[in-house]
Structure 1
Amino acid sequence: MRKNERLKGKTVVITGASGGLGEQIAHRCAASGANLVLLARNQKKLEQLAENVSEKYSVDCLPLQLDLSRHEDIPAVFRDIIERVEYIDVLVNNAGYGVFSEAKDVTAADVKGMFSVNVVGLIVCTKEVINYMRQRKSGHIINISSQAGKLATPKSSVYSATKHAVLGYTNSLRMELAKDGIFVTAVNPGPMATNFFDRADPSGNYVKSLGRYILSTEKVAEKIVEAMLMNRREINLPGWMNAGSILYTLFPRLVERLGKKAFFKK
């Protein structure tokens, strides 16, 4: 496991930390000597992860329960974090979920839920760290978006809309905070082998169709941690999928026509 020496003694806050990509990021940050604040809804999983990480890497690890859909709870949780750890060097906005459904079938509850967690929760968390980072003239905000935020496909209209929103917010935030020495990075991975698809695609057909092309959380986490406290605009994985997103920006009609069969594999 490669180490990022810039993280030694720093404090990293990770949302959605109880499993999947968030858990892998936590392990790699701790291996680099960072102290952690782990946020998620499942307190039991958080406490178990915090105990394992603390024992294995000899770092401080604070598990705090937070449901990002409860926006009114977020300010108090971040005040608690600041009181306990004094400062936040890196915020990783990792929490999020998706439901794959055709636009005609998507429920109002799913629309509200995805925007509530993926967009509003992310924005409120970010708002809570900006002033602290500005006071210290340093910090790094990392927003986990998706290739779906660049190239929308059938059955992911609402999920893609949330990730388009995250990218728009991230791009604006990056320009606002550049003068304060604060880095802002968007991470745009393709499909990853996590329990995301247990909810997004209960049939399992999409994951099956991806086969060996699905990303590992270990690889994505490694790229993210390597870039921490560096001025990286974006991290795009895998390369071939990002090339498709770039091509789509240039020739959308062509890509939609040629990729139609593949896009409907969900």
Structure 2
Amino acid sequence: MKKYIIFGASQGLGDAFVKGLPTAGDHVWIVSRRRPDSLDLQDGVHRSWIQADLAEQHVAKKIVASLQEEMLDVLIYNVGIWEKSGFEDEYNFDHDDPVDIANIIHVNMTSTITCIQALLPNLRKSEAGKVILIGSSAGLDHTNNSQVSFVASKFGLRGITNALREHVRKDGITVTCINPGELAADIPYEDGPDKAINEYNGTRIPVQDMISLVKCVISLSRAACVKEINVPAITDTNA
């Protein structure tokens, strides 16, 4: 039996993690602003919802209060907001509001640090704790993205991963950053990968591929540590 906490898990990739990773008998805490539909599943997995807005300053305390002394085996931080009109043809960094910039950095980086820091005591109770951060190929070098704040935050996530790994090495906790390219996250997990591939003609990655990667990382023994995985779409020549 494994115990998970998954951030950003009410829809898209996070929802896929909640549905595709655990097996009967596992316990999953779901952190999200909106109530996830996965709570209604009857598949032998115990799912608990922690309603939380990661833009709030003291959200980590609320999450820890919900978990209390529970052990955690796997923490998956799948959070990422971006600029208004980001990744659209009309996007222009000149027009970004400083308040929006600060919020992107706070949600994508500051909350990542404070929430993981708060949950380290729970992870240390596991025999082989694992932290998995979901970055983006936009945070890699030379990927030709102009969304300054989002790119900076995802590049910074890689730095968080590297430093955190050193901090918890003595505890036997591994820390991995996975950097996917564009995902077919709007295609529900239960609809299968073929629908995602056909819908986008293979230009977006099915969420099932991400499930397979994370399952592999989780299944490794405590002797192994996967540092970083880059997963662009095969058609993406910029990543």
| Bin of the TM-score, shorter chain as denominator length | 0.7 to 0.9
Partner in structure 1 of residue 150 of structure 2:
159
Partner in structure 1 of residue 206 of structure 2:
216
1:199-247 superposed Cα distances (whole Å, 9 cap, x missing partner): xxxxxxxxxxx853211122212211221153211222137589965xx
Q: Distance in 1 between matches of 2:145 and 2:80?
A: 19
Q: Superposition pairs for residues 120-135 of structure 1, below 5 Å?
A: 120-135=110-125
Q: Secondary structure at the match of 1:75?
A: helix
Partner in structure 2 of residue 192 of structure 1:
183
Identity of aligned residues (%): 25
Q: Distance in 2 between matches of 1:64 and 1:18?
A: 11
Count residues in correspondence. 215
Using the TM superposition, give the Cα deviation of residue 117 of structure 1 relative to its aligned residue in structure 2, in angstroms: 1.1
Verify the 8 A CA contact 1:82 1:88 in the aligned structure 2. no
Q: Superposition pairs for residues 147-186 of structure 1, below 5 Å?
A: 147-151=137-141, 152-186=143-177
Q: Distance in 2 between matches of 1:191 and 1:117?
A: 20
Q: 2:67 aligns with which of 57, 60, 81?
A: 81
Counterpart residue identity of residue 47, structure 2:
C
Using the TM superposition, give the Cα deviation of residue 159 of structure 1 relative to its aligned residue in structure 2, in angstroms: 0.6
Partner in structure 2 of residue 233 of structure 1:
227
Q: Superposition pairs for residues 92-107 of structure 1, below 5 Å?
A: 92-99=76-83, 100=86, 101-107=91-97
Distance 1:226 1:82, change over 3 A: farther
Counterpart residue identity of residue 89, structure 1:
D
| 2:26 is equivalent to residue 34 of structure 1 | yes
Using the TM superposition, give the Cα deviation of residue 175 of structure 1 relative to its aligned residue in structure 2, in angstroms: 1.7
TM-score relative to the length of structure 1: 0.74
Q: Distance in 2 between matches of 1:177 and 1:243?
A: 35
Distance 1:242 1:179, change over 3 A: farther
Q: 1:58 aligns with which of 35, 44, 47?
A: 44
Verify the 8 A CA contact 1:71 1:124 in the aligned structure 2. no
Structure 1 runs of 4+ off > 6 angstroms? none
Counterpart residue identity of residue 192, structure 1:
L
Q: Secondary structure at the match of 1:213?
A: coil
Partner in structure 2 of residue 13 of structure 1:
5
